[in-house]
């Protein structure tokens, strides 16, 4: 039998054992997070305690490369953990997803210094968040309104960031801005910086309170002459949009996993609530055709989403030569799953019935959380544009866009 021995994690068998242990821990934590969310969801209290538990369990460190002592989790393994955690708490899973996307996607192609700084910190318990969306960009964050001006030491950043998910738990940020160099036209002026959470130059100007995912602490931040060093710049000048596109699979599949995990939990709740339940009019609700058909619809839809996500997270991870076609590919599971998950959750709500509307019901929380899926990048319109154009042989970066 051949075994691969690596410096830090030992044999393949040891890695498999560690992976099994992490999944089991994630299941136990999901149960704990679900209990906590019963108390904290309505007040929108940030999931700080849950993030601490994930750090302590080593779940936030799964993307550390093997040569730095880590598990080097695959993209598919990341989606599995996110699905499990989403079953317990959507806000925690989404907050973890941002960290997972950043640490997973940035494992390759970083300069040696930034890579060692990032993964040394993550191995030791760092939590990384990514305020990309600007006041002036919305979801088009490759065209930031936050500006990076050059200084002798590096840059200073000024702008207003929205939706800085997990900011309260952050130890580090990957923050984007547009370089004000005259020769770099948007989006090629996009730059990303990996920095320790600054003590000065970043202020929370509006605290998050959301209808969906209310416990993510997705505050708005003002960057006010925030200094960053030249070596904090993550990618070579002018190339950041290409690096970002080549990593879109991480965002799309990890976000899809969160919303699939929510739909999977909604389905379980609907089945649990129905089995053995009777009323004065119906001896066994499970014997009603409407209930059986709804359960069948949910189950087959979940099986399709499961297969789709596994297929993409294992077989569509390499950008290859045709970058726009690859990005279009990665849109497919994100687009399908975030929209289909809403249908499953709506069906589960119907099966559970009026008690789902009661204050504090878990299905009510999931119904709210699942609404965020299609709004996250790529939004439905952007995904449809990329998929449609790739299919019809039109470049998505061609201008004008629609004629």
Ligand X SMILES: Cc1cc2nc3c(=O)[nH]c(=O)nc-3n(C[C@H](O)[C@H](O)[C@H](O)COP(=O)(O)OP(=O)(O)OC[C@H]3O[C@@H](n4cnc5c(N)ncnc54)[C@H](O)[C@@H]3O)c2cc1C
**Contact residues for ligand X (CB under 6 A)?**
98, 130-133, 138-141, 163-165, 210, 213, 216, 218, 372, 375-377, 379, 381-382
Distance CA 64, CA 82 (A): 17
Output the residue with the shortest Cβ distance to ligand X.
Answer: 138
Please identify, using beta-carbon distances, which residue of 88 and 130 lies nearer to ligand X. Answer: 130
Shortest approach of ligand X to residue 20 CB, angstroms? Answer: 30
Please identify, using beta-carbon distances, which residue of 6 and 380 lies nearer to ligand X. Answer: 380
Distance CA 364, CA 266 (A): 10
Please identify, using beta-carbon distances, which residue of 262 and 295 lies nearer to ligand X. Answer: 262
Distance CA 69, CA 144 (A): 35
Shortest approach of ligand X to residue 167 CB, angstroms? Answer: 8
Contact 57, 25 (CB under 8 A): yes
Number of H helices, E strands in the chain: 11, 7
Distance CA 227, CA 222 (A): 13
Shortest approach of ligand X to residue 215 CB, angstroms? Answer: 10
DSSP string, 105-119: HTSSS--HHHHHHHH
Shortest approach of ligand X to residue 10 CB, angstroms? Answer: 35
Q: Which tokens go with 342?
A: 């809403």
DSSP SS3 for 85:
helix
Distance CA 61, CA 166 (A): 16
Shortest approach of ligand X to residue 210 CB, angstroms? Answer: 6
Please identify, using beta-carbon distances, which residue of 120 and 388 lies nearer to ligand X. Answer: 388
Contact 131, 163 (CB under 8 A): yes
Please identify, using beta-carbon distances, which residue of 6 and 145 lies nearer to ligand X. Answer: 145
Q: How far is CA 122 from CA 111, 192, 197, in A?
A: 16, 18, 13
Please identify, using beta-carbon distances, which residue of 63 and 91 lies nearer to ligand X. Answer: 91
Shortest approach of ligand X to residue 381 CB, angstroms? Answer: 4
């Amino acid at each position: 039998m051949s075994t691969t021995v690596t410096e830090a994690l030992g044999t393949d068998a040891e890695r498999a054992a560690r992976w099994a242990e992490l999944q089991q821990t994630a299941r136990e934590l999901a149960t704990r997070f679900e209990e906590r969310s019963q108390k904290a969801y309505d007040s929108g209290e940030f999931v700080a305690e849950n993030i601490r538990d994930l750090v302590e369990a080593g779940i936030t460190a799964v993307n550390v490369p093997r040569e730095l002592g880590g598990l080097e989790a695959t993209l598919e393994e990341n989606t599995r953990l996110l699905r499990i955690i989403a079953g317990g708490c959507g806000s925690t899973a989404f907050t973890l997803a941002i960290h997972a996307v950043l640490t997973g996607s940035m494992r390759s192609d970083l300069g040696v210094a930034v890579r060692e700084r990032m993964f040394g910190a993550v191995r030791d318990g760092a939590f990384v968040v990514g305020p990309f969306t600007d006041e002036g960009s919305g979801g088009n964050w490759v065209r930031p309104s936050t500006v990076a001006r050059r200084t002798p030491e590096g840059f200073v950043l000024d702008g207003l960031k929205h939706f800085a998910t997990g900011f309260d738990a952050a130890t580090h940020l990957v923050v984007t801005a547009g370089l004000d160099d005259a020769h770099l036209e948007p989006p090629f002026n996009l730059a990303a910086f990996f920095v320790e959470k600054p003590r000065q130059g970043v202020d929370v100007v509006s605290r998050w309170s959301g209808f969906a995912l209310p416990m993510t602490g997705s505050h708005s931040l003002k960057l006010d002459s925030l200094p960053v060093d030249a070596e904090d710049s993550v990618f070579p000048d002018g190339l950041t949009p290409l690096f970002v596109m080549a990593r879109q699979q991480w965002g799309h599949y990890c976000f899809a996993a969160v919303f699939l995990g929510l739909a999977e939990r909604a389905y379980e709740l609907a089945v649990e609530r129905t089995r053995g339940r009777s009323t004065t009019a119906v001896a066994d609700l499970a014997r009603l055709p409407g209930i059986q058909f709804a359960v069948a619809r949910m189950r087959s839809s979940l099986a399709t989403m499961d297969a789709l996500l596994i297929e993409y997270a294992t077989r569509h991870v390499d950008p290859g030569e045709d970058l726009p076609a690859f990005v279009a590919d990665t849109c497919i599971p994100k687009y399908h799953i975030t929209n289909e998950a809403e249908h499953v959750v709506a069906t589960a709500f119907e099966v559970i019935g009026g008690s789902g509307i009661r204050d504090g019901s878990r299905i009510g929380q999931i119904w709210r959380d699942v609404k965020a899926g299609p709004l996250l990048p790529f939004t439905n319109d952007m995904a449809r544009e990329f998929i449609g154009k790739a299919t019809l042989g039109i470049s998505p970066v061609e201008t004008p866009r629609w004629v």
